[in-house]
Amino acid sequence: MNQTTQDSKQVALVTGAAQGLGKAIAQSLFNAGFAVVITDANEAGAAETAREIDATAERVLALKLDVLLKTDFEAALHASIERFGKVSALVNNAAMTPTTPVMEISPEEFDKVVSVNLRGTFFGCQVFGQYFADNGYGRIVNMASLAGQNGGTASGAHYASTKGAILTMTKIFARQLAESKVTVNAVAPGPMDLPSVRELVPAERLEQIINDMIPVKELGNADFVADMVTKLAGPDASFVTGAAWDVNGGIFMR
């Protein structure tokens, strides 16, 4: 691929993209024509996902990125520019989703969840936000959660708290970067039909959530959420910023 072709493409970097919703987002972006940088703390997992999405490796790049390290974001940005000539969108998806009961959360677990979910999102917004502002264009999509709006249905208090904070952080960066033609939005999914959700939530509890708490009586479609993220990551999303896009089956209405 020559440099001119690379520069004409939209290029998105996704954190926590080795599996689950992050993988679905990477696939959706790729299907929409983006070059996709698939990052994860699990380097082998990121590489496997990249091979699954594009065996030719023409429009994918797999990188190790530990969101606890600001230097990893900086290195990933540099490597992405080296490969594709630019980055036009960032999806902050990486997160821990423990379900530990609130009175049993240890200080160590609390700090780890806050660091991965909240500090990791902050570093992504900071590093890529500055790059986008310097170039006069960019899209940031932060993965929040219904848990950050209603206190959670099955997730841990520390997880829900970080996702609520991400909603506020999204507004802060949206206001900071708007004049530089950089938009920052959040997507707040409810319970998704994903293997990770079924692993975390006991089957009986999940069935109760579907029947008693979700008005539409079904789990969310990860591919639909991924397509929503892709829309917000594209050039046409210039007039929406600082917003939280709800996909929760009617659990939380406003």
pLDDT for 70-87, tens place per residue? 999 999 999 999 999 999
DSSP 3-state assignment of 41? coil
Residues 133-138: what's their mean pLDDT?
98
Q: pLDDT digits over 1-32, tens only? A: 333 333 458 999 999 999 999 999 999 999 99
What tokens does 253 get?
């209405």
Relative to beta strand 244-247, strand 60-64 is: unpaired
Q: Is the pLDDT of residue 203 over 60?
A: yes
Q: What mean pLDDT is reported for the chain?
A: 94
87 Cβ neighbours under 8 A, 6+ residues apart: 11, 12, 13, 37, 77, 80, 81, 128, 131, 132, 138
**Is 137 tagged catalytic?**
no
pLDDT: is 75 or 196 the higher one? 75
Confidence of residue 212 (pLDDT cuts 50, 70, 90): very high
Which residues does residue 143 pair with via DSSP β-bridges, in sequence order?
A: 187
Exposed, middle or buried: residue 223 (CB in 10 Å: 0-12, 13-18, 19+)?
middle
Q: Which domains can be identified in the chain, with CATH numbers?
A: 3-192+223-238 (3.40.50.720)
> Do 167 and 120 contact (CB within 8 A), yes or no?
no
For residue 199, name the pLDDT band (cuts at 50, 70, 90). Answer: confident
Which member of 13, 159, 186, 201 is catalytic? 159
The pLDDT tens digits for 95-115 are 999 999 999 999 999 999 999
